[in-house]
Amino acid sequence: MGHTIDLGGMWLGPTQTRLATLAREHGVETYPMSLEGKCSIRLRGAQRFAQGDKFEFTLSYLDQVRLQLLVWKIQALEKRMNLEAPWATPFAERLDRDSVAAWTARETGSPVIQTLMNFICRSVFCAEASEISMLFFVFYTRSGKNLETLVSMQGEGAQSLLFEGGVHQLAVRLAEELDSALILSSPVRSVHQSEDHVVVETDGAAYQAKRVILTAPPPHIARIQFSPELPYMKRALLARQPMGACIKVWIAYSRPFWRERGLNAFALSDDQPFGPVFDATPPGASAGILAGFFDAREAVQTAHLSAGERRALVVEMLVGHLGPEARSPIDYVEKDWTADPWSDGCYGAYLGPGVLTQKGPALRTPVGRIHWAGTETALVWTGYIEGALEAGERAAREVLSAEARLSQPV
């Protein structure tokens, strides 16, 4: 078709300043999400429509009130969250005992709101509400400002903007700047640490440095052999940081026919494995391009299917929301991140109940000459590209500060 797509991260929120600056420096333009028209939401057998991304208006009036009350409770928790040390937040022990599902069930008796919260967990974390610590949930949403920011596609929303030509261009251009300093296809097998240096070994070579910053997904760091061994707290934390489960899908049509129906293609269902889905059509494109996801349990349960079988599920869901013209796509591309050997899943790692209060202090604490980065260690926008950039800057400052202290005369 000639359109370049992102199989990984793809959005920019206006408060994600590091990523926005990087895009400007490399001349990569952005465009807003297309939200003109109505979204389509099907919950517990009822399909309803609302303007833009205001999915809450598809709920009954009583459930809208219940949802707002729940959001206010989450906002009150977010305001008290200690981002640098969430385990030290006054309510940490209590919240970390609960999963998001258990907390939500206690705070609201509405099955619809409980289903909606599970949708949010699937879409944001690629995990079920029953798998995620409520303390981790509040830390995560607060790191991106608040829950409303994370689920919104307008204003300061995390899904407000898309990149012309895709955000992956930035990685390509940064790699070009690094030139021969960037070594690919060389997975790290071991890290040996001595009093004054570190040796990193791959299958084909060994590299010596004063310090090392590790940014790989936690499951991969856990598979590296360390000498001396990492402290128990760090090993235990790495063992309890599973990656989310996600299969990302792009599907194209000869034109964005849903707009003729007054729809914006934002859709989700609680009776279909695929969703949510979004209109990602670039400005001026004649084709209509949608992006969507199999998330969490649905990704796990459909991973054994062929791409053609998943395509059929995608088309079935889209027909139900957008109409019969959705039966005739002109292209289909997917990326099963659960099968990717170098990520083990997407979008990032999450924490279950009890982990953050017990093992959280090991998240960013250096181990000798080993420092930790990656989006899971970020203070702001953890789980996002912005968080990865922030974590990299913080780790770099740590290294410079540590080396500066060593160089000072005693």
Q: Which pLDDT score is estimated for 405? A: 83
CA 131, 136, 139: angle at the middle one, nearest 5? 150
Domain membership flag for residue 229: yes
263's CB contacts (< 8 A; 6+ apart) are: 37, 38, 39, 40, 49, 321, 322
Per DSSP, 331 falls in state E
pLDDT in tens, 194-230: 999 999 999 989 999 999 999 999 999 999 999 999 9
The reported pLDDT for the residue numbered 328 is: 97
Query: Which pLDDT belongs to residue 98?
Result: 98
Cα dihedral: 290, 350, 158, 382 (round 10):
-140
* Rounded-to-integer distance, Cα 12 and Cα 31, Å: 10
- Does 100 fall in a domain? no
Summarised one tens digit per residue, pLDDT across range 104-151 is 999 999 999 999 999 999 999 999 999 999 999 999 999 999 999 999
Is 201 domain-assigned? yes
Residue 155, SS3 per DSSP: coil
pTM (two decimals)? 0.95
The 8-class DSSP code of residue 235 comes to H
Q: Is residue 118 part of a domain?
A: no
Q: Quick one: DSSP state of residue 208?
A: E
The tokens for 123 are 């879409």
User: 57: which residues sit within 8 A by CB, 6+ positions away?
Assistant: 50, 51, 64
Q: What is the CATH number of the domain that holds 362?
A: 3.50.50.60
Q: State the Rg of the chain over Cα.
A: 22
- Laid out side by side, the sheet with 188-193 consists of 206-209, 198-202, 188-193, 225-227
DSSP codes joined into one string, 66-95:
HHHHHHHHHHHHHHH--SS-GGGSTTHHHH
**Is the predicted pLDDT of residue 168 greater than 80, yes or no?**
yes
Judge contact between 391 and 215, C-beta under 8 A: yes
Q: Is residue 197 part of a domain?
A: yes
Which one, of 373, 374, 376, 371, lies nearest residue 349 by Cα? 376
- 3-state DSSP assignment of residue 289: strand
Give a yes or no: residue 146 inside a domain: no
CA angle 118, 266, 40 (to 5 degrees): 80
Query: Is cis: bond before 347, omega within 30 of 0?
Result: yes
Task: Tell me: pLDDT of 316 over 60.
Answer: yes
Give me the number of domains the chain comprises.
Answer: 1
pLDDT of residue 409 exceeding 70, the answer is no
The answer as to whether 77 is a domain residue is: no
Give dist(CA 181, CA 184) in Å, integer: 10
Residue at 273 is within a domain: no
Q: Which helix (H) or strand (E) holds 62?
A: helix 61-80
The residue-averaged pLDDT of 84-107 equals 97
Residue range 268-314, pLDDT digits in tens: 999 999 999 999 999 989 999 999 999 999 999 999 999 999 999 99
Give the pLDDT mean for 163-168: 94
pLDDT of the residue at 410? 55
Distance from C-alpha of 40 to C-alpha of 290, rounded to nearest angstrom: 14
d(CA 287, CA 94): 50
Read off the pLDDT of residues 106-116 as tens digits, 9 standing for 90 and up. Answer: 999 999 999 99
| pLDDT > 70 fraction of the chain, expressed in percent and rounded | 99
Tokens of 55: 């999915």
Distance CA 395, CA 375 (A): 11
Question: Looking at residue 46, what is its pLDDT?
Answer: 86
Burial of 136 (0-12, 13-18, 19+ CB in 10 A): buried
CB atoms within 10 A of CB 9: 21
Structural domain including 360 reads 183-242+349-407
Cα distances (angstroms) measured from residue 347 to each of 33, 109, 124, 356, 396: 20, 30, 8, 19, 23
